Amino acid sequence: MTEAAELPPAPEQARAVFGDRFDDAVRYAELLAEAGVQRGLIGPREVPRLWERHLLNCAVLSEAVPEGVTVCDVGSGAGLPGIPLALVRGDLKITLLEPLLRRTNFLTEVVELLGLDHVTVVRGRAEEVLGKLPPVHVVTARAVAPLDRLATWGIPLLRPYGEMLALKGDTAEEELKAASSALSKLGAVETGVLQVGDGVVDPLSTVVQVKVGESPGGVRFAAKRAKAARPARAARRRR
């Protein structure tokens, strides 16, 4: 039996969540179950639970994302949560940020195949693109790193008064408490834990929300961002 054959049919909730993009969501699930497994992007044991544990779990993050904003999905991997979010929210401008070539190749193929014109794939680490990518309204992440480390990568990519939304598990409250000092130093002004996906996923998806003030990343990252942006500004003036 092939890995593709192990992919279960899409649950009824998927039709409601993905709407007119349902067929694209099915194709993405098939790509994860086939090429995703073959290329080592997801484990074969994840295939039977791709819908509930991965696609729907990520898609409901859209409940926490404001309308018409820019998003950077840090450490996008196989496209989770960025691709499901893009499928349900055509109003967003999404950047999938991923350092590994084999993953960015897969992401590029998915974006082109599904016609996700509002999605851009960028290869690199968050600290490498600081000052090179325009600051975004929202940073998303899932299973990338502990919250304090994730915040160090993600928060500096935000524009003033933006927010980071991190999909977490049962330890969300503990992680948030442990990272409170680090988050404060990074410019966080408000934090909380949200539950999303009522009527779609069980258990609900847990999201750590970190809102920043006028200096995302704190003073040190503001200076670093300004320094990194100087060559780009100089290049624009020479044109």
Tell me the two tokens of residue 183.
């988050």
Cβ of 210: how many Cβ atoms within 10 Å? 26
Q: For residue 25, give every residue at least 6 positions away whose Cβ sits within 8 Å of its Cβ, in sequence order, or none.
A: 10, 14, 18, 55, 59, 84, 87
Q: Are 78 and 41 a contacting pair, CB within 8 Å?
A: yes
Give the tokens for residue 170.
């049962």
Please report, as a single letter, which amino acid is at residue 217: G
Q: How many CB atoms lie within 10 A of CB 128?
A: 14
- Please give the full DSSP string across 177-210, using - where no structure is assigned: HHTHHHHHHTTEEEEEEEEE-TTTSSSPEEEEEE
| Angle ∠(196,79,111) on CA atoms, nearest 5 | 120
Phi, psi of 156 (to 5 degrees): -60, -15
pTM recorded for the entire structure:
0.90
Q: What is the full per-residue pLDDT of the chain (239 aa) written as tens digits?
A: 343 448 999 999 999 999 999 999 999 999 999 999 999 999 999 999 999 999 999 999 999 999 999 999 999 999 999 999 999 999 999 999 999 999 999 999 999 999 999 999 999 999 999 989 999 999 999 977 899 999 999 999 999 999 999 999 999 999 999 999 999 999 999 999 999 999 999 999 999 999 999 999 876 666 666 666 666 555 556 66
Cβ(134)–Cβ(72) under 8 Å? no
Amino acid letter, residue 90: G
Alpha carbons 20 and 172: distance in angstroms, whole number: 33
Q: What CA–CA distance (Å, rounded) separates 232 from 229?
A: 5
Question: What sign does the dihedral 23-83-3-9 (CA atoms) show?
Answer: negative
Give the integer Cα–Cα distance in Å for 60 and 18: 10
